[in-house]
Chain A
Amino acid sequence: MIDKTDHEIIREVIAGNISAYAMLLERYKNMVFTLAYNILQNKEDAEELSQDVFVKAFNALSSFKGESLFSTWLYRIVINTSINKKKLRKIQPVSTDSELTEDTYKDLDNLINQHEINDRKKIVQCAIRLLKEDERLCITLFYINELSISEINELTGISVSNIKILLYRGRKNLYAQLTILLKAEINNLI
C-alpha cells in the first residue's frame, strides 16, 4: 500500500476510493505544513492553510493532468493560497560578499553533534525562522521541498539569478544563525 506512486493513488481517489487520499496526506502533510509555516510564520494559520490546501487539492484532483509531479502541483497551491494571505515582499538583488569557509562547516558540525535530536530540531527550525522572508522561502522550496531553481522561478515569479543569490545568502545566514544559536545553547548548559 505504502509503495504506491502518487499517480496510482490519484487514479484510485478519482475512481471513488476517497480513503486512498489519506496516503497522499500522510506523504506530504509535513512538507506542506513546513512550507506554509515558513511563509506565514504562524503555526495556527499554517495548519489551517495546510488543511485548506489538501481540501482544495482533493476538489481539483480531476484537473491534475500529471504533467508535473503531484508535490510540485501541491506546493503551487500552498504558495498561491499563502500569497492570498500574505503578500510576498519584493526581492532586491544583493551582492555576495564574504565566502563560507570549510572551517565554518566543521565548527557547525561539532556544535550540532553536542545536542540531542529534539534540541537540534528546535535550533535548526529557529535558525530558519530567523532568515529573511524571501531567503526562507527559497531555502525551504529548494532544500526541504526539493524543487529545482526553474520550478521555484515558475512558482514564485522570482528571477533565476535572484533565486541563486537568495539561496547563497540564505545558506550563509542560516549557518551564521545556527552558529549563534548553538553557541548560546552551549553557554546556557554550562
Chain B
Amino acid sequence: MEEDKRIKTLLQQFGVEETSSTFSNSVMEKINAAVLIKETKPLLDNSIVNFIKIIFCLVVVMLAACILFIPFNNMPIIFSINISSNIYKQLFSFIIVFWIGMFINVWLNKIWNSKKVFFL
C-alpha cells in the first residue's frame, strides 16, 4: 500500500528517538558489573558458612537445655554481678524505641514504594 510506505518512511526517518550519549557506556558498565558479581567467589565457602550456622544452633540448643534441666545453683558458672534497675530500664527503653523506629521505617518504605509505582 502506497499509504503504508509513505508513513513507514516518514516514521523511520523522523520518528525514531535517540538515546543519550552515555546510554551504551552505562549499559556495558552494568553488564560488566553483573558479570563480575557472577564470577566473584564469596569470602567464605558456602559449606563453611553452613557449618558455622549448625554449630551456632547446637550451642544455642545446648545452652537452653542447660538452663532448663540443670538447677541454677548447680551451674558451673555463678553470675554475681549486680546490675542496677536503671540499666534495665534504659535497656528496655532502647529496645522499644528501636523496634518502633524500625516498624515506622518499614511502613514508610512500603508507602513510598507503592506511591512510586502508582505515579509511574
Spell out A's residues near B (CB within 8 Å).
Answer: 18-19, 21-22, 25-26, 29-31, 33-34, 37, 40, 45-47, 50-51, 54-55, 58-59, 85-86, 100, 105, 112, 117, 120-121, 123-125, 128, 139-140, 143-144, 171, 174
User: Given A105-B6, A125-B14, is A29 in contact with B35 using a C-beta cutoff of 8 Å?
Assistant: no
A-B contact pairs, 14 of them (CB 8 A): A18-B32, A18-B35, A22-B24, A29-B24, A30-B18, A33-B19, A33-B23, A34-B17, A45-B120, A55-B27, A58-B34, A105-B6, A124-B15, A125-B14
B52-84 contacts to A, CB under 8 A, are none
- For the complex, give the distance between the alpha carbons of A120 and B12 in Å: 12
B1-36 contacts to A, CB under 8 A, are 3-4, 6-8, 10-20, 23-24, 26-28, 30-32, 34-35
User: Given A18-B35, A29-B24, A124-B14, is A86 in contact with B19 using a C-beta cutoff of 8 Å?
Assistant: no
Quick check: A51 and B23 within 8 Å, CB to CB? yes
Chain A residue numbers with a CB within 8 Å of B15 are 34, 121, 124-125, 128, 140, 143-144
Please pick, from B16, B20, B24, the residue contacting A144 in the complex, using a CB distance under 8 A: B16
A-B complex: 9 closest residue pairs judged by Cβ atoms: A124-B14, A143-B11, A34-B17, A121-B14, A33-B19, A54-B27, A143-B8, A85-B120, A120-B14
Number of A-B pairs whose CB atoms are under 8 Å? 88
Interface size on B, residues (CB 8 A): 28
Main secondary structure of the interface of B (DSSP, over half): helix
- For the complex, give the distance between the alpha carbons of A58 and B34 in Å: 10
Task: With CB as the reference atom, state the residue of chain B lying closest to A139.
Answer: B11
**How far is the CB of B114 from the nearest CB of chain A, in Å?**
14
Contacts A51-B26, A140-B15 aside, 8 further interface pairs with beta carbons under 8 A come to A29-B23, A31-B16, A34-B16, A40-B120, A85-B120, A120-B13, A125-B14, A143-B4
